[in-house]
A and B are shown apart, each in its own frame.
Chain A
């Protein structure tokens, strides 16, 4: 809650956009919790319906908790023709979730986007903001394994 007060203060002083405030909150919480948005609406005198409208409009915002690692698969035209559906279904198989879902251990969230604007690298998979171009089903296996290992290490297995 301390962080929110800081974010709100920033908003009032520098007059940054509501969208930026939401980004800041999402960075802190990994998603947009309902009670935080209600608090925000009261503090900034912005109707809750308007905040909810903006939060649901942009795919970048999530109203449900997301996993530690965000895995985004581009499904744009270029990626699509170069094999993105196969890559996506492989990832679905590996993680056991569908796009928009989070694994039960809260480690991975899978999402799809319509275009990342880097069609030369198609098909693209982005994990935690890192772009991996020209992926194939085999490459995806290795890529994900790296992250799964990392998680296991932190758990001390």
Chain B
């Protein structure tokens, strides 16, 4: 323990703490701009200066480690004068005139004078108005006038990337975004460039953020103390009036989020202690408030959709279910609340509807990953999934839990975003992943296997040496049952509530479709199109499906209902109601409960039959179907709706609605980037937009799982131009 004196009072501090740490802990106020708790101190803004006895000039508190017997003053007239001077200099390059206008208090409600400021010179129209740290400091220091001429840098606003915009004219070069990108996300997309008065924050060669491989996690936006970086969606929606802590349900990791609302409407989500990915940061609010969301019950009357009341809708639904009782199949999505899933099984018991199917594939020998400290050094082998795109926060979580960066080796025939970030990328021929893994993990002499060179195996083994190997795989993308090596394997996928759903009591969606006795479908939270003609189809969801239905019941999203779900690690996470469901949308539980009340029959419960999941056997090459289509799980989904289909930003960063094709194949077939083509397999035919990329090997096609388009499993296909 070190004892120091601050403003005449004695405090004890730990070795290694900075003066600012101690002051923050003890509630002594020191103004800062470039300091952020979870980033390394930078000492750039010079506002946190303090006077230390025995030192000739003021020191920055954020970079000053405590020493025994230090005597510190944090609030002397000299410091006040210096801080004020520094802030004035900072403001001479940041549009300020509205900040210091003497009529600003009244200007917000009515404009009392005719002297208007140009937008570029003030904060009246700045999106950060009310959230700006500079604004707060000006208020606090009581600055009424800036003695320096204002210099507008006239940098064009960067508004060409999805999700957030950048106006570096407002940037004060505090470096928080640069450090957040590097330290919190290990992404290194932005950095300072040039120097002196020309210094700017930006990407290398001024590439767009998409080209610079940005993950769009929003760490930089959250770090910015001014309006230089701003989320596009809520740019002009104002300050939130309420912030509620809940969890994100858009993937299986279930990160904690702060949901910000204004006038009972969600306007944004920010991270709550843990980092977020693009889905949690920029996907939730636009999806929940999406203009295409349906919020009234709809009835299909001879091809015309008519709005009806809930009473009528529930009557119609219960009448249909009564009529088709044991000829009804229910299919629900994995991302419902536990409470809804439970009420569904009660529903099954009461109504006698035994055909209850869930849109997942069963996985045997399931073991959940635990991020607890193992004490050993870890090496991760990721097989056939995009660690960065699908689960960008996952590596960061592991890094935080282990307190070190694990070695990561990626084995994947498709070159995904992760390939450039991992320590080693091995690209085997498609279908040879298991062979490569067996060689990699065995002690045998290394040899060339499945497209991997001997040297690469040697390098990989060097990386794995003396480390505990964890194999992460997506059971939807690769079957590791054939693996001979003894290694810890953990399935990583985007399915929520897996321990409940994988219990073997539930059928899969395929089982329901294959059951010829079923004539009526009740689809809850899934966008899965019926594979054949059904007499009645009831859909309960947030967005309209792409197929015909008889009745649509508008459901609430996870932000509008209290509840819980189980994440990838087997933990139960709580969800809290953040805002009221829009219009007449209702919670799934409410709808199911009301239907049950209207069903007045009882039938004895029968045992559910469990059908084991089928293994896809690989078909032989065929001249008629020259391509092998690889299909992977799409984790960018909510209640069966692919995010790219409703939000354009996601479409630009994630090519999940497209068919990936190698440039060689593309030029042979004369297909153009972005143009639609016809994919024909033995049992399906559909039209998909192509994306030409060498991320997929020659002779192969790649697509994300899309049941609407028939892209459901690996198969041989041919491609025809339209």
Residues of A within 8 A of B (CB): 34, 37, 42, 47-53, 56-57, 63
Contact = CB atoms under 8 A, between A and B. Distances in A.
Nearest to A58: B195
18 contacts: A37-B204, A47-B182, A47-B191, A47-B204, A49-B190, A49-B191, A50-B191, A52-B193, A52-B203, A52-B205, A53-B191, A53-B192, A53-B193, A53-B204, A56-B194, A56-B195, A57-B193, A57-B195
A48 B193 contact: no
B212 interface: yes
B455 to A, nearest CB: 16
B272 interface: no
B203 A49 contact: yes
A34 B205 contact: yes
Contacts, number: 38
A56 B188 CA distance: 16
B194 A49 contact: no
Interface string B549-582: 0000000000000000000000000000000000
A42 B419 CA distance: 11
B189 interface: yes
A53 B199 CA distance: 10
A52 B204 CA distance: 5
Interface string B176-203: 0000001000001111111100000001
A52 B193 CA distance: 7
Given A34-B205, A42-B420, A49 B188 contact: yes
A96 to B, nearest CB: 25
A48 to B, nearest CB: 4
Contacts of B188: 47-50
A44 to B, nearest CB: 13
A51 B204 contact: yes
A154 B720 CA distance: 58
A48 B204 CA distance: 6
Interface of B: 182, 188-195, 203-205, 212, 420
A145 B189 CA distance: 47
B161 to A, nearest CB: 15
A63 B204 CA distance: 12
Chain A, interface SS category: helix
B204 A49 contact: yes
A42 B213 CA distance: 13
Nearest to A41: B204
A63 B195 CA distance: 15
Nearest to A42: B420
A26 to B, nearest CB: 16
A56 B420 contact: no
Interface core residue of B189, B191, B203 (most chain A CB under 10 Å): B191
A47 B204 CA distance: 9
Top 10 closest pairs, chain A to chain B, by CB: A47-B188, A52-B204, A49-B191, A48-B204, A53-B191, A56-B193, A49-B204, A56-B194, A57-B195, A53-B193
A34 B193 CA distance: 15
Given A49-B212, A57-B194, 17 more contacts: A42-B420, A47-B182, A47-B188, A48-B188, A48-B204, A48-B205, A49-B188, A49-B189, A49-B190, A49-B191, A49-B204, A50-B191, A52-B193, A53-B204, A56-B193, A57-B195, A63-B205
A9 to B, nearest CB: 16
A14 B204 CA distance: 27
A47 B214 CA distance: 12
A6 B192 CA distance: 29
Nearest to A55: B193
A48 B212 CA distance: 9
Contacts of B189: 49
Contacts of B193: 52-53, 56-57
B235 to A, nearest CB: 25
Residue from A47, A51, A57, A63 whose CB has the most chain B CB atoms within 10 Å: A47
A51 B212 CA distance: 13
Contacts of B194: 56-57
Nearest to B200: A56
Contacts of B420: 42
A53 B203 CA distance: 9
Nearest to A59: B195
A145 to B, nearest CB: 35
Nearest to B186: A47
A32 to B, nearest CB: 11
A57 B198 CA distance: 10
Contacts of A49: 188-191, 203-204, 212
Nearest to B182: A47
Most buried by B among A48, A49, A53, A63: A49
Contacts of A47: 182, 188, 191, 204
A86 B562 CA distance: 77
Given A34-B205, A42-B420, A52 B195 contact: no
Contacts of A53: 191-193, 204
Contacts of A37: 204
A47 B188 CA distance: 6
A56 B420 CA distance: 24
Contacts of B204: 37, 47-49, 51-53
Nearest to B192: A53
A56 B203 CA distance: 12
A51 B182 CA distance: 14
A48 B209 CA distance: 13
A37 B212 CA distance: 14
Contacts of A63: 205
A56 B192 CA distance: 9
A74 to B, nearest CB: 18
Contacts of A57: 192-195
A57 B192 CA distance: 9
A61 to B, nearest CB: 11
Contacts of A42: 420
B10 to A, nearest CB: 43
B18 to A, nearest CB: 25
Max chain B CB contacts within 10 Å: which of A37, A50, A51, A63?
Answer: A50
A53 B202 CA distance: 9
Q: Max chain B CB contacts within 10 Å: which of A37, A57, A63?
A: A57
Contacts of A51: 204
A36 to B, nearest CB: 12
A49 B212 CA distance: 9
Contacts of B191: 47, 49-50, 52-53
B507 to A, nearest CB: 48
Contacts of B203: 49, 52
A47 B194 CA distance: 16
A49 B194 CA distance: 12
Contacts of B212: 48-49
Interface centre among B192, B193, B203, B204 (most CB of A within 10 A): B204
B216 to A, nearest CB: 16
A12 B204 CA distance: 23
A141 B518 CA distance: 96
A49 B191 CA distance: 6
A100 to B, nearest CB: 12
A51 B188 CA distance: 11
B197 to A, nearest CB: 13
A108 B325 CA distance: 88
A61 B191 CA distance: 17
B364 to A, nearest CB: 39
Contacts of A56: 193-195
A18 B194 CA distance: 17
A156 to B, nearest CB: 38
From B188, B189, B203, residue with most partner A Cβ within 10 Å: B188
A94 B194 CA distance: 29
A56 B370 CA distance: 44
A50 B181 CA distance: 12
A57 B204 CA distance: 12
Nearest to A46: B188
